[in-house]
Amino acid sequence: MTRQQRADLVARRLQELYPETPIPLDHRDPFTLLIAVLLSAQCTDKRVNQVTPALFALADTPEAMAAQPVETIQAIIRPCGLSPQKAKAIKELSRLIVERHGGEVPKTFAELEALPGVGHKTASVVMAQAFGVPAFPVDTHIHRLARRWRLSEARNVAQTERDLKKLFPRELWNRLHLQIIFYGREYCSARGCDGTTCELCRATHPPRQSRPARRNASRG
Catalogue the active-site residues: 121, 139
Instruction: Assign 3-class secondary structure to 26-58.
Output: CCCCHHHHHHHHHHCCCCCHHHHHHHHHHHHHH
DSSP H helices, the chain, are 3-17, 30-39, 45-58, 62-66, 70-77, 83-101, 109-113, 120-129, 140-148, 157-167, 170-186, 199-204
> What is the H or E stretch that residue 88 is in?
helix 83-101
**Helices 157-167 & 140-148 angle (0-180, nearest 10):** 60
- Please give the Cα distance from 83 to 98 (Å, whole number): 22
Q: What is the largest CA-CA distance in the chain?
A: 77
Question: What is the number of H-type helices and E-type strands within the chain?
Answer: 12, 0
- Please give the Cα distance from 100 to 132 (Å, whole number): 23
